[in-house]
Structure 1
């Protein structure tokens, strides 16, 4: 019997994905890319995943570290916020590249390449990072509810578990609805801080000088601790896993030119969104420096204390209200990141698929226990320290996500013609070295007291 000869391989085809399941199946290739449209319309079709990622860069954990850094050291740590954001832009661009080029998310790639014991360790550490993130979001949202509506902190911590209903409803409506709500919240948060900065009247010359790195950041242990917290709150390990998955929600083609275009548009999307996140994080730190540090209140690290001091020190009740509204929006927004990242990590590393409601419940239960215990025993002061500690934990987890990311981004055999350019790989490995060095310095300081 004659058989039809198979077609020769397309030289323009990109490497194919391993067919053992797609990442975030309810979103996968759900957003159509218009073929006959112009450059602008095609680029706009890729706008959205970057804002889902940017949410994690302005969650309540960032608030705790930015408030502590601004009140204690003025504008000095703006340089750390800028450096962290530049690192984030680079690493997220690499995430978009490997997700689009391979059709696999970072967790799936780890499962494909590493031995099972290594895979389980990486999975466990990724789950720790997600729980630390969820813990910060849970506490921050509860604090915002207390400030705006007078709900007791302990009750607010428990009530925040209900945000799972919002996430499930948005996932049911589709990824574009999810992206639109998240982006809308981000612009509202940005608007709140623009108004706050106008009221705070910072020294703009000192602000610009703060973006220049200072040697004291490395020589003073107190500054280094907060700096590492800012780094951990800015470059989020779970976002690296998430971004490799959400970029696959676009129905781009399978050829190298089509994937190269998708990588370019996805990188523009994430970089633009992270620039907005940098402005928000800078605004929090600048507000703390202009109001608290300049006013002699150099030990303001609690969100509640900052809220109470804003009205008398700025001279307007609107400043405190805008502060609390922005915090609530940040907390609600950031739950999206933790939920989706948890799904990506569990399904990618373990090949285990759970209903979204069950996955969210598991993550919330793990995070809610320490939050309830600390809130019950120590009140507001305990939650402030727990927020900062959660961000330092995130920073300690970073190398275990960044190193695999850089290994895959450098893998010419897997990525083929879509391998990252040399300058991007050099900067990525340099960022990895900086992250590891800061972690080792922190551990050294802890050991030596």
Structure 2
């Protein structure tokens, strides 16, 4: 915002600090070297990157590779690039204005708009939680033989895991998440190396093709986008970017915080894009030609120990590694989903409830549609995996409702000031991404309605 002299005044937080208990809680060194400073700022990017490696990404990317080989690899990479741009803007909004995205929207729009966007974001969080519930339940079944229905109910207990983690401090939470991410990366890198993918196929898959616009490919492509550029992650990053202690009145210090937060975010998101690329490459190299047989996590688990599919590398050890990584992925995303729920509830409707209560409510709501689907269509992996894919498609449909306000605020000199407003090239790419994604979503809805009418 600007005063009469034209000088930038950083907006005060009208409804309290975002995630007040951890806001400004992490000290950073003064006058330290690049690597030491980067280390101090490393962490929030990992919490954001977790959302890009949840079970929703797994099923969309692996099935995408199994059905269309390397065709959708370009979608994964483009999604990663868009994610970096959007997360940069989200973090910058929080650092510069000292408001998270929910607060910025609520403080600059009327109540009806605020409530509509709040509901859309809550639904997006629930869709994300559905993916975590399904992934964790299937992993528990694969590892320990726990029935899916019981596994779904057991996921409610992860609220106690979250309570334990919150006692450790924010920096330790970041360290745990980074460790789990590196574990997942190592497991899939190992699996891909064993699968001996086609280098030429990978190179060709990096080139976008018009055939992606066909209905079946488009559904999976939008599922990949929705599972990658996740709406709730933009709210999350705009808040946790404020966990570092800095003087918001010193513009040079603010610029330094923006710089190192962006470095942290981009490094972590490059890692997430690599993981998602590995998932698709694994599906293409190991399971292409068996796409119709690999519609569920259980199918993938069993295929890794089946020599007729995973020729030459099949092993129960690989299957177990896959299930362990799946369970770790779902639990990892539990942390970020809860934090985001708290952020949007406080930011949009000024309602603050204990984190454990927020987590319990969100998880119970997410469990209901999973249980209903399991009861009506049977508690099978395939049914739950289909529900998971469409939950990711919903995230893609919900994404523009988050992208557009973020692009507007960070592209406005009124809100960001002359120094921190988006560069023109960033604004062009961001607006083009939002417009194209909206257009693809409209086409997807049209295709789905047309398909439904034809079936009737």
Q: Confirm or deny a common fold (TM above 0.5).
A: yes
CA RMSD of aligned residues (A): 1.7
Distance 1:77 1:169 in 2: 39
Who is 1:237 aligned against?
A: 231
**What's the counterpart of residue 193 of structure 2?**
198
Normalised TM-score (structure 2): 0.94
What secondary structure sits across from 2:29 in the alignment?
A: coil
Write the distance in 1 (CA, Å) between the matches of 2:94 and 2:40: 17
CA drift at 1:199: 1.8
The Cα shift of 1:306 comes to 1.0
Deviation string 1:5-33 (CA, Å, 9 cap, x unpaired) is: xxxx9999761423430101111000001
Answer yes or no: is the 8 Å Cα contact 1:106–1:241 preserved in 2. yes
Which of 412, 418, 421 aligns to 1:419? It is 421
In terms of mean alpha carbon deviation, does 85-94 or 416-425 score higher? 416-425
Asked whether 1:181 is paired with 2:183, we answer no
Q: Deviations over 1:127-184 (max 9, x none)?
A: 0000000010011011111111111111111111111111122112111011000000
Map 1:28-427 to 2 at 5 A: 28-218=23-213, 220-254=214-248, 255-293=250-288, 295-312=289-306, 313-314=309-310, 315-377=314-376, 378=378, 379-416=380-417, 417-427=419-429
Matched pairs, number = 440
User: Mind listing any 5+ residue stretches in structure 1 that lack a counterpart?
Assistant: 1-8
Secondary structure of 2:167's match?
helix
SS at match of 1:185: helix
The answer as to whether partners of 2:138 and 2:151 remain within 8 angstroms in 1 is yes
Aligned counterparts of 1:77 and 1:297: Cα–Cα separation in 2: 14
Alignment equivalent of 2:434, drawn from 424, 432, 435: 432
Report SS of the residue matched to 2:15. coil
2:15, 2:347 within 8 Å by CA — same for their partners in 1? no
User: In the alignment, is the contact (CA less than 8 A) between 1:14 and 1:259 conserved in 2?
Assistant: no
Task: Describe the superposition over 1:230-272 as per-residue Cα deviations: whole angstroms up to 9, x where unpaired.
Answer: 0100000000101000000000222111111111111111111
Residue 447 (str. 1) matches residue 441 (str. 2): no
Q: Quickly say closer, same or farther: Cα 1:14–1:262, change in 2 above 3 A.
A: farther
CA displacement at 1:380 relative to structure 2: 1.4
**TM-score normalised according to structure 1 size:** 0.95
Q: Distance in 1 between matches of 2:5 and 2:297?
A: 57
Counterpart secondary structure, 2:422: coil
Instruction: List per-residue Cα deviations over 1:181-216 (Å, max 9, x = no partner).
Output: 000000000010011112211112211211111111
Query: Secondary structure at 2:225's aligned position in 1?
Result: helix
Say if 1:230 and 1:285 are closer, same or farther in 2 by CA, change over 3 A: same
The alignment partner of 1:32 has SS state of coil
User: Measured at CA, do residues 355 and 296 of structure 1 come closer, stay the same or move farther in structure 2, by a change above 3 Å?
Assistant: closer
Q: Could you tell me how far apart the structure 2 residues matched to 1:301 and 1:344 are?
A: 35
1:298 Cα deviation from its structure 2 partner: 4.2
CA distance in 2, matches of 1:18, 1:306: 48
For 2:444 and 2:291, locate their aligned partners in 1 and report how far apart those are by CA, in whole Å: 26
2:192 and 2:118 map into 1 onto residues whose CA distance is: 41
Secondary structure of the 1:251 match is: coil
Distance 1:394 1:299 in 2: 26
Alignment check: 8 A CA contact 1:12 1:257 kept = no
Contact 2:106–2:348 at 8 Å: present in 1 too? Answer: yes
In structure 1, how many angstroms separate the alpha carbons of the residues matched to 2:82 and 2:14? Answer: 32
User: Counterparts of 2:189 and 2:58 in 1: how far apart (Å)?
Assistant: 16
Q: Over residues 44-67 of structure 1, what are the superposed CA-to-partner deviations in whole Å (9 max), with x where a residue is unaligned?
A: 111000000000001001111112
Contact 1:48 1:269 in 2 (8 A): yes
Hey, what's the Cα distance between the residues in 2 that align with 1:95 and 1:12?
A: 23
Unaligned 5+ segments in structure 2 are 452-456
After TM superposition, give the deviation of residue 300 of structure 1 in Å. 1.6
Secondary structure of the structure 1 residue equivalent to 2:242: helix
Q: Does the Cα contact within 8 Å between 1:67 and 1:301 map onto a contact in 2?
A: no
